[in-house]
Amino acid sequence: MPRLLIVSNRLPVTVKAEDGAVSVAPSTGGLATGMSGPHERLGGLWIGWPGDLTGLSADGRAEVERRLAELRLAPVALSPEEVARYYEGYSNGVLWPLFHYSVARLPQEVRDFDVYEAVNARFADAVAAHHRPGDLVWIHDYQLMLVPRLLRERIPDARIGFFLHIPFPSSEIFRVLPQRERILEGLLGADLVGFHTATYLRHFASSVLRLLGAATEVDRIPWGEREVRLGVFPMGIDAAQLAELAETPEVRAVAHAHRVPGEQLLVGVDRLDYSKGIPRRLLAFEAMLRAHPELRERVRLVQVAVPSRENVEAYREYRDEVDALVGRIHGEFATPAWSPIHYLYRGLSQAEIVALYRAADAVLVTPLRDGMNLVAKEFVASRPDGDGVLVLSELAGAAAELAEALLVNPYDVQQTAAAFHRALTLPEEERRTRMAALRQRVFGYDVHAWTRAFLARLERVGTPGEALALSPPQAVRSLVERARAAPRLALLLDYDGTLVPFAPTPELAAPDGALLDLLRRLAARPRTQVDVVSGRTRGTLQRWLGALPVGLHAEHGFWSRAPGGEWQGAEVPAVAWREPVLAVLREFAERTPGSVVEEKTVGVAWHYRTADPEYAAAQAKELTLDLRTLLANVPVEILPGDKVIEVRPQGIHKGRAVTAAIGRAGPEALVVALGDDRTDEDLFAALPPGSAAVHVGPGPSRAPLRIADFRAARALLSDIADAR
């Protein structure tokens, strides 16, 4: 098994200095529990911030570093200012509310991204310093979303996984973020990006499509010369450990003490965070007491609110809101012998929490938005008696798995109140049936299964040959030298995606001055012939490039023109299919706003680059199916391209241009062809032996050489043009 490098914001330990002595104690929590096994078994390192050590003496810090090294923990030192700006400022002041759909809580001006980026670079440096060939790198959560790309820049062949523990918001929410493209590009540095639910995966893929233009293919995103895999890995808990704890005499005794004869118990356990929905839960509890007076003095809510980010103003205001609600409900309903709410503003030990779970008639997990919410699973694991009811927000990631819970919309206070009442009155047989199904799922996919599933997938996607790698610089340099030394040189160049970037509409892809100058220099080079081979119409190529001393081939070789000569067309085949196809394309253009139909001499095309990306992609699939049905047994080709679907007669393809170009250049010429899409494969296939084919960008190709994009293509051609 390969070695594992775990990367998270915090190390899984708590460092304390008391009475001059330093202690390093293991932390509790889902990530620390889940990763402890792989950390030990795979003999790797855990890289993260150890906490604030500024108050320690030099000897104290040395002792901490020694203890951390013994535990194979590698600290990343952060100053108090960096923590304030990177962690509190950007991570929790910007990313946290945005990813939890609390857009109104964003600051008026988004700041501190520069520090977030600098700290992420520090983490990437730390990983690179410890990395060995063959290691697996697993990066965790929203504080480190730039690390995958930064690490990829430092170690191009690293095997990198990333897991997001919070929700990924819809693209309409995510696009609010000023640094949205930078965050997406950071995550796409990974080989595997994991999410709790399929919904979060879809939201991420939608954002990548809408903001970066990269479409998802089932569970992967072609990105540059690589493929980034996406996966759904719902995080579990250490169910067996909790079940064992729930059966201890101490926990059973405390649970029994919580039970009051004649009184039912509701329990909520949350961090005091605005995403957890505590105020709406309290309002629902209040609404239930109003609607069902018979429950007064017969039901009690124990609400544990663990302090969180107390130095952040928004959290202090939130605490005041919760305190006020608890006080109001007490004032209206409490009696000298009964309090409706037992409110605990502090953390409890795991044993105390499990005792509450075991005592509860129902546990209320009603966040307004949550990545997973492990409290729901902890409650299920803590009920070896097989009883109890889980009331669960449908906006928590756990709802995608725990369908047997009573699911509620936490924004609907009356519906939530009704669910609370139903939980208290559910027949025992139904309670036990629901709990049995929940326990089977929670125990069947625990935290250890979660880590195994992610790491097994990361190992597979990281194997050689899965990515379409760029050719090494020396291979490209060798081609340049070969072209420079050739007695004659014939260049066959695709246009869109090869010489220019793709434009929103075909008309906006006109050549810039730098490209025109490059083509002139190439054509002026001794014993060099330049031909541009494009799917564009002859009118467009004539208007853009007609003044240059280069050969032009339009509509995939149907029309050809020698430098300064007249256009010559191929024999026009029978096109009885043309009008029916145009009718279909026009129908799809009408119902897909932003798409357009392009008519050529014999071919037709439907462009959808400026349409809504997700809707247009679905329409493109439907159109392709319709065309295949319509054109069955018709001698035409249906060519899906980059945001375009083209229909052309068979035999009309870019390979036709090779014969014309070689006829002018002579058989002794070295032919070098550059192209980026499916239509250029016909060009590559028609090249004579000894020629050179270069694929530009991602995607499969028969070309032996691969470069990144149109910029790399221009650089290669410029190196050839500048030969002396």
- Give mean pLDDT, residues 638-659: 86
- Contact predicate 85/27, CB 8 Å: no
The whole-chain average pLDDT of the chain stands at 91
More confident residue, 267 or 210: 267
Q: What pLDDT is recorded for position 465? A: 42
Is residue 28 predicted with pLDDT exceeding 80? Answer: no
Report the topology of domain 239-450: Rossmann fold (3.40.50)
Q: CA 261 from chain center: how many Å?
A: 51
Q: For the chain, what are the domain ranges?
A: 4-232, 239-450, 473-570+652-721, 578-649
Q: What pLDDT is recorded for position 571? A: 76
Q: How far apart are CA 468 and CA 700, in angstroms?
A: 7
3-class DSSP state for residue 282? helix
Q: What pLDDT is recorded for position 467? A: 44
SS3 content of the chain, % helix, strand, coil (to 5): 45, 20, 35
Q: What pLDDT is recorded for position 573? A: 66
Report the topology of domain 578-649: Alpha-Beta Plaits (3.30.70)
Is residue 575 predicted with pLDDT exceeding 80? Answer: no
**Lateral strand order in the sheet of 644-649:** 596-599, 604-607, 644-649, 636-641
Is residue 388 predicted with pLDDT exceeding 60? Answer: yes
Whether the CA torsion 153, 156, 158, 160 is positive or negative: it is positive
Q: CA 283 from chain center: how many Å?
A: 35
Is residue 700 predicted with pLDDT exceeding 70? Answer: yes
CATH class of the domain defined by 4-232: alpha beta
Catalytic residues: 494
Q: What pLDDT is recorded for position 287? A: 98
- Give mean pLDDT, residues 661-674: 90
Tens-digit pLDDT profile for residues 129-141? 999 999 999 999 9
Is residue 678 predicted with pLDDT exceeding 80? Answer: yes
Q: Which stretch of 22-31, 106-115, 237-246 has the lowest confidence by average pLDDT? A: 22-31
- Contact predicate 340/285, CB 8 Å: yes
Q: What pLDDT is recorded for position 255? A: 96
- Contact predicate 365/392, CB 8 Å: yes
- Give mean pLDDT, residues 385-401: 97
Q: Which stretch of 273-287, 400-414, 478-492, 620-634 has the lowest confidence by average pLDDT? A: 620-634
The DSSP annotation for 181-218 comes to HHHHHHHTTSSEEEESSHHHHHHHHHHHHHHH-PPPBT
| pLDDT bucket at 402, cuts 50 / 70 / 90 | very high
| Residues 6+ away with beta carbon under 8 Å from 331 | none
Report the topology of domain 473-570+652-721: Rossmann fold (3.40.50)
Q: What pLDDT is recorded for position 723? A: 64
Q: What pLDDT is recorded for position 88? A: 92
Q: What pLDDT is recorded for position 374? A: 95
More confident residue, 178 or 223: 178
| Residues 6+ away with beta carbon under 8 Å from 361 | 264, 265, 266, 388, 389, 423, 424
Q: Are strands 45-49 and 4-10 parallel, antiparallel or unpaired?
A: parallel
Is residue 14 predicted with pLDDT exceeding 90? Answer: no
Q: Which stretch of 108-122, 285-299, 401-415, 498-512 has the lowest confidence by average pLDDT? A: 498-512
Tens-digit pLDDT profile for residues 502-561? 877 667 789 999 999 999 999 999 999 999 999 888 999 999 999 999 999 998 888 999
- Give mean pLDDT, residues 143-159: 96
Is residue 33 predicted with pLDDT exceeding 80? Answer: no
Q: What pLDDT is recorded for position 466? A: 43
Rama region for 325: left / alpha / beta (φ>0; ψ in -120 to 50; rest): alpha
Q: What pLDDT is recorded for position 464? A: 44
Is residue 412 predicted with pLDDT exceeding 50? Answer: yes
More confident residue, 195 or 308: 195
- Give mean pLDDT, residues 13-22: 75
Same fold, 473-570+652-721 and 578-649: no
